[in-house]
Structure 1
Amino acid sequence: MQAIYKDFLIRDWSQSDRNLVAAVIGSVLAEYSLDWEPLGADRDVLEVENYYLATGGEFWVVESQGQVVGTAGYYPFHRGETAVEIRKMYLLSQARKLGLGRFLLQELEKAIAAKGFQQIWIETASVLVEAIKLYESSGYQPATGVETARCDRIYVKNL
């Protein structure tokens, strides 16, 4: 993956991004008073190769002027043969309110559809108000079955 949105570069994750990506996600979580869970909900960030790349998913990094300012990824998961979960879609505050989140979500949906997946799930927390507005305005429907402790909402969209 490589895409440009305004002054942002969206590209595939590389091993040298591991600590930078963890710092960005930890920072956004802290901003919303959510805990960084390296042995739990955030283990996938430290093991991108196993969770995303080895399973047929993708993990992307968003850069602005050479600095990592965001992340987004997805991988297949157990809710069906053709289902994926979008995970770790986080942007630092300076990268928000510019349409980047919507662009990222649309690019994820295109990549997911191109691989033949038919259903997308997203777990989130009520405090992530901007994310919830984005998902709901993009056709995601509330569902049940939240599995991540810090999340209290789950959405699904059929492609």
Structure 2
Amino acid sequence: MSNFKIREIKPEDNEQVAKVVRSVLVEMGVPKVGTAYEDKALDDMYGTYQHPRMNYFVLESEGKIIGGAGIAPLAGLEEKVCELQKMYFLPEARGKGLGAQMMDTCLKYAASQAFEKCYIETLPYMENARKLYGKSGFKSLEAPMGNTGHFNCTMWMIRDV
């Protein structure tokens, strides 16, 4: 696959995006309860992100969605802190620097929306994701922030936008 493109989500992307996220979560052995797997938003990602200071970006290759990530205000700390949400890539998108490009796209959007910090929740066994977050300037936190409802996510990170 080649011709990778990062763009804003469109309504017709909803089904593919939900499949990408759920398939990566299953691949990683993520619990289906208390994680993004059960989020109702997954079935209408376009509609979910059609609100102020929110955007979801997809990674497309040859007409197929192979990854995505979003930015939204962090529930409970909406004014100054955003959350990097639902950043997942199919195996064919990994190891090509596309995660770093997606991260850059999301953080530029966050800056354009006057967020000061970006927060993310993850899991201990998502090692490659955590490496990317670390390279992108995220630092570990001792406890969660905001109110995401993802009680099974046990690692939290933050960085300046």
TM-score (norm 2): 0.86
Matched, 1:26 2:22: yes
Contact 1:119/1:158 (CA < 8 Å) preserved in 2? yes
Distance 1:109 1:124 in 2: 17
Q: Match of 2:127?
A: 129
Matched, 1:71 2:68: yes
Deviation at 1:116? Answer: 1.0
Structure 1 runs (4+) deviating above 4 angstroms are 36-41
Greater relative contact order (Cα < 8 A, sep 6+): 2
Unpaired segments of 5 or more residues in structure 2? none
Q: CA RMSD in A?
A: 2.1
Cα deviation code 1:29-57 (max 9, x no counterpart): 11101144599752222243554222420
Change (3 A) 1:40 1:104: closer
Contact 1:51/1:75 (CA < 8 Å) preserved in 2? no
Larger deviation, residues 84-93 vs 44-53: 44-53
Length, aligned pairs only = 154
Change (3 A) 1:28 1:114: same
Unpaired segments of 5 or more residues in structure 1? 1-5
Change (3 A) 1:48 1:121: same
Larger deviation, residues 147-156 vs 121-130: 147-156
